[in-house]
Structure 1
Amino acid sequence: MTKDGAGTDQIPGLDDLPRTSPKTSDKAGKAGKGGKKGVRRPAEELPVARIAVDVSLPHLDRPFDYLVPAQMSDEVVPGCRVRVRFAGQLVDGFVLERVAESDHDGKLLFLERVTSSEPVLTREMVALIREVADRYAGTFADVLRLAVPPRHARVEAEPVAPAPDTAAEPAEDGVAGGLGAWAHYPAGASFLSALAEGRAPHAVWTALPGPAWTAAIARAVAVTLGSGRGALVVVADGRDVARVDAALTAELGEGVHVALTAELGPAERYRRWLAVLRGSARAVVGTRAAMFAPVSDLGLVVLWDDGDDVHAEPHAPYPHARDVLALRAHRVRAGALIGGFARSTDASQLVESGWAHALAADRAHVRAVMPRVRYVGEDAQLARDAAARSARLPNIAFEVARQALDDGPVLVQVPRRGYVPTIACARCRTPAQCGACQGPLSLPSSHAAPYCRWCGRIAGDWQCPECGFVHLRAVVVGAKRTAEELGRAFPGVPVRTSGRDAVLERVGPERALVVATPGAEPPAEDGYGAALLLDGWVLLGRPDLRAGEETLRRWLNAASLVRPKGPVVVAAEGTLPAVQALVRWDPVTYAERELAERREVGFPPAARMASLTGTSAAIRELLADARLPEGAEVLGPVPVPSPPGPGADAQDRERALIRVPRAAGPALARALKEAQGVRSARKAAETVRVQIDPLELI
């Protein structure tokens, strides 16, 4: 079944099922104790198991009742994995609870077998999964796949490590152990005190530039563990996990926490996940998937750099880590810390609603540690260099880089990877496209022929279809071409690149030019001497509602790697709000202003929106079935581009947006879930992808 929902024709008879299948299997299996051969007896105590079956069809998004065979009674515990007969097929399931009797009038099937008696699904996780599914108009089964990793029997059989006694000496782990990096924040002491006392403070944290953010998170986790509760930290990527992991080890010692990343491999990841479930580890740091980690007695959730789009799950029902962690904190009365160098409009919405408080340093300290930001096109620059505004590498950038290289490495941020990712006709500027699939052409190096980024065909004989010209020009220059240009401009200086193909973990204090794409900037041992933020128009000019917000976030993340008072040059127009926010190092004011502007026009996060993507007929059918809340506004549907690549679906796809006030968000999700269930029950041939609060609206 697909993540977006499968047709019911894959499992025959599903739309005719009551609470459970009405017929008992003819092959009943082994006999119960004292029973006849081939006949099963139900367990004497709590003979009915309520099971979440691994079926994603919306109209079957409910638990089903099965009888527990007497010989399996000790193994069938709430949270364990089982196999059951469902519509004639064996499917996986999880036991939610055992009850004395079922409210189903028909005959119940028996469980087929117990896959594992390990209770991997806790009561708290069940409630969270249900809440996330309802918030995002998804199914319990879809969220369950995100929350519980696949089983490894060998790992389950390993001995259980003893749980660490993190609360044995609370004086050392509490605020008495020192504020650490939180001493620079006026509200830092009160935040830690609330955690130490077992309360649940919620804060949106605007971190100071520099590497101290990992130590601040580690101190907050240590204080929480000192109060006898657990902690969960979610960051954007594996490199951030490694940094926070090292900080936690320095703060807590060995064996108190675990790190969860996809790079561990299935077995090791499941081993560490079980350590959290069994209480052997009280703190977790990980990437997006760790937001469901089963930390017992959760006292603090931390989300770093919440504006990064990697925190949005790409699989149905597409939950965002910020919302999941906020739901967890609210449900179990835990503290929450949502932080970053920038502030997202969603985080500002949390502050404005009163759910969280702002946590930031005073302006005097910010000015003392922030870099010195200059933009291209200042009056003084134009007086000396008339081409400063139009040049990609203006004179001021060369001067700053040349002077800073005497003291160490210089960071160069380039928005696009590759050599020349976008090219066009040199005469009429028509974008160059592949003659076979109409995909965009690109140049991989200075000596290579252009090739198609979709199908990979070489276009050595390309000719402009508009004017017949055969020469090409660069529209956007990538990181590799930038590194080549800088190598010629600074002979004798090592030039290193960091991007998707090869990401540098760290650079030393020696002089070097480090060319990196956004998000792949490696920290320098003693900080960078300077930073050049090139091609700002590429980031700011994207047709995206969050273009300015995302651009400022990427700039601040890169500039935070520069030493205090170090120069930063941004290649963008100085009158733009994002540039001014960077110059003043004031992401809070920018986010608040952006939120106010979106409220005026009814855009998220001031409003709640849903995106419906599919064929025109399928979207209109779903809208006709949906009982939308009062005040809902339907925008579209309008055509959307097909996915890139020669194998993309040629069927016309459209997208409709539904906008409602924030208070009507739950009603919108419920209406879309019910409409999806109606279409699923009648075996609609075409699916509709439903996303609540999608990141991309354009």
Structure 2
Amino acid sequence: MSSENGRGERGAGEAPEVEQLALIRESVRKAKVPRAKPRTWRGAALAAELPVARVLVDKGPVHLDKLWDYAVPAELDADARSGVRVRVRFGAGTRNVRGGRREGGGLLDGFIVERVAESGFQGPLAAIAQVLSPEPVLSPALLGLCRAVADRYAGSLADVLQLAVPPRHARIEAEPSAGPLPPPGAPEAGSWQRYPTGPAFLDALARGDAPRAVWAALPGPHWPAELARAAAAALASGRGALIVVPDGRAAARVDAALDALLGAGRHVLLTADVGAEERYRRWLAVSRGAVRAVVGTRAAMFAPVRDLGLAAIWDDGDSSHSEPHAPQPHAREVLLTRAAREKAAFLLGGFGCTVEAAQLVDSGWALPLAAAREQVRATAPLVRTVGDGDEARDAAARAARLPSLAWQAAREGLKHGPVLVQVPRRGYVPRLACERCREAARCAHCAGPLEARADGGLHCGWCGEEARGWHCAECGGGRLRAQVVGARRTAEELGRAFPAVPVRTSGRDHVLDTVPDRPALIVSTPGAEPVAEGGYAAALLLDGWALLGRPDLRAGEEALRRWLGAAALVRGQEAGGTVVVVAEPTLRPVQALVRWDPAGHAVRELADRAELGFPPVSRMAAVAGPPEAVAELVAMAELPAGAEVLGPVELSAPPPGRPRRAGDPPPGERWERALIRVRPGQGAALAAALKTAHAIRLARREGDPVRLRMDPPDIG
């Protein structure tokens, strides 16, 4: 019996003569059909050694996710090295057979992955048109990481490389890079001494070990310096360090801590704020090995740090860590992959704790790094609870729409410093409802939610139509109440209640970085809270039900994460710091805040997920698109044994006037979404099956396109 390629393979019980005959046939076949060795192309000489380049074309569709063979002209031989950018012909008018290329098509950019002596294609190869730059920007380590990320998220390698390798700036490449500085000395433990295993973690990093920890950070301003000390310990071992944080403000704080600890020249800051050219200059310094430490936002997860010794991420539950562009990887999973592939240490830290972090500890992959309960109680502020329905007992509190306890905490806190007020939403009065029956107030034109303007008028939040003479369609009532009071309206009411106190707002339109240590009311939306010099004297966390009531599997986890982030800015209980949360006191996230026990909350959430079979205990994929296309792709995919298809369910189109978000169906189209769930250990097989089916549909160009996403962040 012969295999498909003609090579004889003896099975059980076959005679030796059969094997010998097969070997003879194989030798005859090779003699008659010699492998092609391209040496010329259109009369031009090709490279004498390794004349074939395997090129990854910068084209995203998954059915083109392969390497393509091109001939290397002799004049490009010196520059056409592995990892450099090139330009090749690709597209209409071309044909491929096992990676081979014929002439025709347009010019596209790509990367040389390797040089080989022969091509598997038997015909003439198209030649590389141009070497765009001799700079090797795609190292084998970076290529392997991008390949692993593409496979995990059922995406194309080209799409991942667009996230990993920044656009080229020729002038920057011409600038020389300085040589690397010698490793610094091992840092002192500093505030890591507050954690029983903190100094041992730093010592292990400085020795060159690869410890893995989930860090429950104590409240207060010390976490940037603690991350900086962890990075310094990795540098002391002669290795590199990479720290990924959610936003530019957090990156700036860690950057300042690294400057103070290590001095200039040992690390770079990679954020969008530095500009495209400067970002590429810093990225090149890292790629060339001149700098061994990086701190940055989401895109820095692919930074080509040489000999990575520490991969760290702060606040992995923040949605900013999830990449919106295909294949939509999460920074936490990318850094976990890097730590495993490069045998580096891993540190996941934050004030909160996600279920994914709890699973890392539960599986034994990482160890907990936390302070003793006595230290937590001494450092955290006093947290008090009050229900949303509690009535204020004095006129000033009623005017500010605050329960009496929150009013008293704010009044007392203002005697000693600034007071933080966290409001779930920005704006004036984002949502209104009938005062009598609590039915949401809707626009008569498009059924969108009505909002109040600062002048007292009403308008639709979707279409912008003015609403005059509104009456409730359910009960006929004509009076409205606020469902959630926005940040600007809250600031206005607090200003009337505290006329002698300055009121400042911080939100999406204008985010404050810091505020001085003097009495003031700081009204902020979640995630935009400024840092107060010396800490806030008190904090009010309003409208907790708005965070807890979201139809999302992560609603409780996310509410607790946002509350902890604000409460961590408040002075400790010993210094008089107080936090008042306005939410149902008996709910699990509220009690976790009172006890300052995010890890315990995450463990209980993980147990619930395990019982229900939800991620991260299982792996999931979401397939969205027109109903026929979704059904076709799911039917085509060779799903792993035991895979469960949930749905499909219909997706709502974005209302008129509301900006489209990722995952929204196009206006006027009916879309559905199906969720596919598999057991632990089957995630790679699920991704491969869906990617193959998706590639087949794209190659056939039949049917409507679909959107495929592994590990969707919201499935509620």
User: In the aligned structure 2, how far is the partner of 1:341 from the partner of 1:425?
Assistant: 38
Q: Report if the CA contact (8 A) 1:376-1:388 is conserved.
A: no
Q: Which residue in 1 is equivalent to 2:94? A: none
Pair 1:281-2:291 in alignment: yes
Q: Which residue in 2 is equivalent to 1:694? A: 712
CA deviation after TM superposition for structure 1 residue 431, in Å: 3.1
Pair 1:601-2:612 in alignment: yes
User: In the aligned structure 2, how far is the partner of 1:335 from the partner of 1:250?
Assistant: 23
CA deviation after TM superposition for structure 1 residue 46, in Å: 0.9
Per chain length, whose mean CA-contact separation is higher, i.e. which structure has more relative contact order (CA < 8 Å, sep 6+)?
1
Q: Report if the CA contact (8 A) 1:78-1:119 is conserved.
A: yes
CA deviation after TM superposition for structure 1 residue 459, in Å: 3.9
CA deviation map 1:191-217 (0-9, x unaligned): 111111111111000000001001110
Kindly provide the amino acid, as one letter, of the partner of residue 57 in structure 1.
Answer: P
Selected match of 1:416 from 425, 431, 437? 425
Q: Which residue in 2 is equivalent to 1:521? A: 529
User: In the aligned structure 2, how far is the partner of 1:441 from the partner of 1:464?
Assistant: 12
Pair 1:42-2:46 in alignment: yes
Selected match of 2:411 from 392, 402, 415? 402
Alignment of 1:632-643 (within 5 A): 632-643=643-654
Kindly provide the amino acid, as one letter, of the partner of residue 602 in structure 2.
Answer: A
Kindly provide the amino acid, as one letter, of the partner of residue 526 in structure 1.
Answer: G
User: In the aligned structure 1, how far is the partner of 2:109 from the partner of 2:434?
Assistant: 56
Alignment of 1:201-212 (within 5 A): 201-212=211-222
Pair 1:668-2:683 in alignment: no
CA deviation map 1:619-673 (0-9, x unaligned): 0000110011011110000011213444852101111111111111111111111
Q: Which residue in 1 is equivalent to 2:585? A: 574
User: In the aligned structure 1, how far is the partner of 2:168 from the partner of 2:432?
Assistant: 48
Q: Report if the CA contact (8 A) 2:426-2:486 is conserved.
A: yes
Q: Report if the CA contact (8 A) 2:51-2:72 is conserved.
A: yes
Q: Report if the CA contact (8 A) 1:50-1:98 is conserved.
A: yes
Pair 1:293-2:303 in alignment: yes
User: In the aligned structure 2, how far is the partner of 1:463 from the partner of 1:650?
Assistant: 30
Q: Report if the CA contact (8 A) 1:377-1:388 is conserved.
A: no
User: In the aligned structure 2, how far is the partner of 1:451 from the partner of 1:266?
Assistant: 40
Q: Report if the CA contact (8 A) 1:378-1:574 is conserved.
A: no
Cα separation, partners in 2 of 1:631 and 1:196, compared to 1, 3 Å: same
The SS at the match of 1:399 is helix
Aligned sequence identity (%): 60
User: In the aligned structure 2, how far is the partner of 1:594 from the partner of 1:496?
Assistant: 36
Pair 1:116-2:133 in alignment: yes
User: In the aligned structure 1, how far is the partner of 2:208 from the partner of 2:122?
Assistant: 47
Q: Which residue in 2 is equivalent to 1:680? A: 698
TM-score, normalising length: structure 2: 0.88
User: In the aligned structure 1, how far is the partner of 2:684 from the partner of 2:506?
Assistant: 42
Q: Report if the CA contact (8 A) 2:219-2:380 is conserved.
A: yes
**Superposition RMSD on alpha carbons, in Å?**
2.4
Query: Unpaired runs of 5+ in structure 1?
Result: 1-31, 168-172
CA deviation after TM superposition for structure 1 residue 40, in Å: 2.2
User: In the aligned structure 2, how far is the partner of 1:374 from the partner of 1:315?
Assistant: 41
Kindly provide the amino acid, as one letter, of the partner of residue 45 in structure 1.
Answer: E
Q: Which residue in 2 is equivalent to 1:107? A: 124
Q: Which residue in 1 is equivalent to 2:506? A: 498
Q: Which residue in 2 is equivalent to 1:96? A: 113
Q: Which residue in 1 is equivalent to 2:97? A: none
Cα separation, partners in 2 of 1:304 and 1:453, compared to 1, 3 Å: same
Pair 1:72-2:64 in alignment: no
User: In the aligned structure 1, how far is the partner of 2:470 from the partner of 2:272?
Assistant: 42
Cα separation, partners in 2 of 1:451 and 1:74, compared to 1, 3 Å: farther
User: In the aligned structure 1, how far is the partner of 2:555 from the partner of 2:80?
Assistant: 51
User: In the aligned structure 1, how far is the partner of 2:249 from the partner of 2:224?
Assistant: 12
CA deviation after TM superposition for structure 1 residue 114, in Å: 1.2
User: In the aligned structure 2, how far is the partner of 1:209 from the partner of 1:222?
Assistant: 22
User: In the aligned structure 2, how far is the partner of 1:689 from the partner of 1:553?
Assistant: 30
User: In the aligned structure 2, how far is the partner of 1:452 from the partner of 1:599?
Assistant: 42
Cα separation, partners in 2 of 1:384 and 1:162, compared to 1, 3 Å: same
User: In the aligned structure 2, how far is the partner of 1:460 from the partner of 1:67?
Assistant: 72
The SS at the match of 1:662 is coil
Selected match of 2:368 from 358, 375, 384? 358
User: In the aligned structure 1, how far is the partner of 2:117 from the partner of 2:286?
Assistant: 31
Kindly provide the amino acid, as one letter, of the partner of residue 631 in structure 2.
Answer: R
CA deviation after TM superposition for structure 1 residue 106, in Å: 2.8
CA deviation after TM superposition for structure 1 residue 423, in Å: 2.2
Cα separation, partners in 2 of 1:274 and 1:453, compared to 1, 3 Å: farther
Query: Unpaired runs of 5+ in structure 2?
Result: 1-38, 92-104, 661-665
CA deviation map 1:361-406 (0-9, x unaligned): 1111111111000001599x99989x999x9511111111111101
CA deviation after TM superposition for structure 1 residue 541, in Å: 0.6
Pair 1:191-2:201 in alignment: yes
The SS at the match of 1:78 is coil
User: In the aligned structure 1, how far is the partner of 2:707 from the partner of 2:349?
Assistant: 31
Cα separation, partners in 2 of 1:461 and 1:139, compared to 1, 3 Å: farther
Q: Which residue in 2 is equivalent to 1:9? A: none
User: In the aligned structure 2, how far is the partner of 1:457 from the partner of 1:48?
Assistant: 64
Cα separation, partners in 2 of 1:644 and 1:350, compared to 1, 3 Å: farther
The SS at the match of 2:602 is helix
Cα separation, partners in 2 of 1:67 and 1:434, compared to 1, 3 Å: farther
Q: Which residue in 2 is equivalent to 1:440? A: 449
Alignment of 1:200-279 (within 5 A): 200-279=210-289
User: In the aligned structure 2, how far is the partner of 1:429 from the partner of 1:353?
Assistant: 46
CA deviation after TM superposition for structure 1 residue 162, in Å: 2.5
Q: Report if the CA contact (8 A) 2:241-2:292 is conserved.
A: yes
